[in-house]
A and B are shown apart, each in its own frame.
Chain A
Amino acid sequence: MTAVQQQALAGQKRRPRAGRGYGAGYKVLSYILLTLLGLTMVVPLLWMISTSLKPLEEIVLPNFWPKRATLENYRYVLTETELPRWYLNSMIVAVLSTISVTFFDSLGGYVFAKFDFPGKRIVFLAFLSSLMVPTEMLIIPWFVMSANPIVGSTWVDTYWGIAFPGMITATGIFLMRQFMQGVPDELLDAGRIDGVSEFGLFWRIAVPLSLPAMGALAIFNFLGNWNAFIWPLIVTSKREMMTLPVGIQFFSTEVGSNWHLIMTGASLSLVPLLIVVIIFQRYIVEGIALTGLKG
């Protein structure tokens, strides 16, 4: 189908036209190039895993795979460091904010899609404008607010303090608004006549019809919060409250030249995520294509 484009890649300007399924040459070239580029994608990840299995004396040797593989590094990182705690912290923060974002963004999207009310435009524009403000602009005010003895002293080193920026997102509200517009009004009106409460209309009619979009939203928020770095770095000071990325940064800086330990920490932080992603690949890829969302 896109042999046309393939030609451009091959840099060949003119080629006799072939029938359908043309361009076996382009296909072969595609496979070769994709394999080479694909290798550069996975080799660093494989190297990370292989180094995590190496004993100390092997780490600077040029061999890719360990000569004498050991799980000792894993035992060390899992029992002698706070990594399991960081894992738990990241999990709590990501799950909390994902639940919150999925619920409130859907509800907000539903209201903007299906309700007409005075002030709708202004509220909508206020939400919209917040999209243009990068998180980096807010971290300094957030930090000052969180050091405020009245409200904020309870923010530093708490799950709420780490998670609040991701609790409700404007992007999600707009995404859900688009989807909720597709919910038929007749269905909602019929529900109203049958005496379904307003929340019931949302929960039992609009939500079931928007599950694919909500799924995409949930996955991206989970990934985004799981990998969030700049704000968790600033709002945590106690080691036991760090999230995984912040903990990995501190741990790696500390152990310095012990590459095998750094790679073990990195593997432990990435591999479970990668397994989940491989299982849900289709869903995630379709979600990105559908929404243009970034993790």
Chain B
Amino acid sequence: MITLTPATRKTLWAYIFLAVPIIFFAYFRIYPTLFAFRMSLYDWNPMAIDQEYVGLENYQDIRDDLGNPRSPTRKAFENTAIYIGLGVPIQLGLALLIALMLNEIRRLANFYRLLFFLPFVTSTIAISWVFRILFERQGYINSLLATFSLPPQPFLRSPDQALYSILVVVVWQGLGFAVIIFLAGLKQISQSYYEAARIDGASRWQSFRHITIPLLNPTIVFLVILQSIAFLRMFAPVYAMTVQGSGGPLNSTTTVVLRVVREAFDSNNMGFAAALTVVLFVIILFVTVLQLKLTTRQID
């Protein structure tokens, strides 16, 4: 029998233990990633036997679409930017406010925390349908408006209101997660800072501005990045809340990922869709690198 040195033995065991994960990541993550890059260079049609190499044509198509105000792709990028630009600050602002208040109270704190947390664990599809019906012309929200003598609103049926209606639902559902992360961040701030500030005669606003916000900064950066990426990948709520998952009315709510799914699986335009996902990947990569830069600067 062969005797192995302890180091060789450990190496062997490490690879035995990692064998399944390595094969898994290689075949289901890394290979498909490279495959997506390759597909983006082809006029890939799942119905065809041979795929035609087109070089950067799909990327040129995206560029042309972005220059055309009427193209759904351009609309998708614009909408996604609005979802992020409005959704992230509103969601995090509300979540911080709620976390600060939850941190203030003692009695029933767990109960209130549960209220905000509940929507977060609900299925997006089921909850989107709940709101889709709440927003109907004869739905509950319009009957509430009627009790205040306000005119009924079209909400999801109007190209002007649909995006904001969907945004409300997404903010509503994701709020609890941000609240809990903020609460964890607040708990880590030592009380001694506040007491020192109080002794020095700082007002509460000054303490908030100069103690809470700076010390909460890593949490804020973490959440901004995480939620931005979540909004960037938005798909299910738009799919469930628009007629036949169209991202309508008139593409007014469509997102980049919705375009990807439509192009790839409805129009068999898989090369173009793959190119769109590469663009999405580059944006996420950029955001992630930005996070690494921002958080490492924090440590200095």
CB within 8 Å of B: which residues of A?
1-9, 12-15, 17, 23, 26-27, 30-31, 33-34, 37-38, 40-42, 44-45, 47-48, 51, 60, 62, 64, 104, 107-108, 110-111, 115-118, 120, 123, 126-127, 129-130, 132-145, 147, 164-165, 167-168, 170, 173, 198-199, 202, 223, 226-227, 229-230, 233-234, 244-246, 248-249, 252-253, 259, 262-263, 265-266, 269-270, 273-274, 277-278, 281-282, 284-285, 288-290, 292, 294-295
Contacts of B176 in A (CB 8 A): 41
User: Are A2 and B30 CB-contacts (below 8 A) given A111-B18, A288-B180?
Assistant: no
B83 CB within 8 Å of chain A: no
Give bound CA distance, A23 to B264, whole Å: 58
Closest to B283 in A: A134
Partner pick for A227 among B10, B124, B201, CB 8 A cutoff: B124
Contacts of A41 in B (CB 8 A): 115-116, 118-119, 172, 175-176
Known A-B contacts: A8-B205, A38-B115, A137-B36. Give 19 more (CB < 8 A): A2-B103, A2-B194, A5-B103, A6-B100, A6-B104, A14-B203, A26-B104, A34-B112, A41-B172, A44-B172, A48-B130, A62-B140, A127-B25, A134-B233, A134-B281, A143-B264, A252-B129, A281-B114, A290-B184
B239 CB within 8 Å of chain A: yes
Interface string of B103-144 (1 = CB under 8 A from A): 111001010111111111111111101110110101010010
Contact A7 B129 (CB under 8 A): no
Q: Which of B70-122 contact A (CB under 8 A)?
A: 94, 97-98, 100-105, 108, 110, 112-122
* Distance in Å: Cβ of A270 to nearest Cβ of chain B: 5
Give bound CA distance, A263 to B131, whole Å: 10
Please report whether the interface of chain A is mostly helix, strand, loop or mixed according to DSSP: helix
Partner pick for A117 among B14, B284, B288, CB 8 A cutoff: B14
Contacts of A259 in B (CB 8 A): 133, 136
CB within 8 Å of A: which residues of B?
10-11, 13-15, 17-18, 20-22, 24-26, 28-33, 35-36, 39, 44, 46, 94, 97-98, 100-105, 108, 110, 112-127, 129-131, 133-134, 136, 138, 140, 143, 146-147, 172, 175-177, 180-181, 183-184, 186-187, 191, 194, 197-198, 201, 203-205, 207-209, 211-212, 222, 226, 229-230, 233, 235-236, 239-240, 244-245, 257, 260-261, 264-265, 270, 273-274, 277-278, 280-281, 284-285, 288
Contact B98 A136 (CB under 8 A): no
Closest to A245 in B: B125
Contact B281 A108 (CB under 8 A): no
* Distance in Å: Cβ of B87 to nearest Cβ of chain A: 15
Contacts of A285 in B (CB 8 A): 113, 117, 180
Contact B204 A6 (CB under 8 A): yes
User: Are A244 and B205 CB-contacts (below 8 A) given A136-B277, A262-B133?
Assistant: no
Closest to B108 in A: A31
Contacts of B46 in A (CB 8 A): 143-144, 147
The 6 A-B pairs with the shortest beta carbon distances in the complex, nearest first, are A7-B204, A289-B184, A141-B32, A4-B207, A62-B143, A8-B208
Contacts of B36 in A (CB 8 A): 137-138, 140-141
Contact A229 B101 (CB under 8 A): no
Contacts of A7 in B (CB 8 A): 203-205, 208
Partner pick for A229 among B102, B125, B226, B284, CB 8 A cutoff: B125
23 contacts between A and B (CB under 8 A): A2-B103, A2-B186, A4-B194, A12-B204, A34-B101, A37-B94, A62-B146, A115-B13, A123-B22, A137-B36, A141-B33, A144-B44, A164-B28, A170-B25, A230-B236, A249-B245, A253-B244, A259-B133, A263-B133, A273-B123, A277-B121, A284-B117, A290-B184
Contact A137 B278 (CB under 8 A): yes
User: Are A249 and B208 CB-contacts (below 8 A) given A134-B281, A145-B32, A263-B130?
Assistant: no
Closest to B29 in A: A130
Give bound CA distance, A253 to B128, whole Å: 12
Contacts of B113 in A (CB 8 A): 281, 285
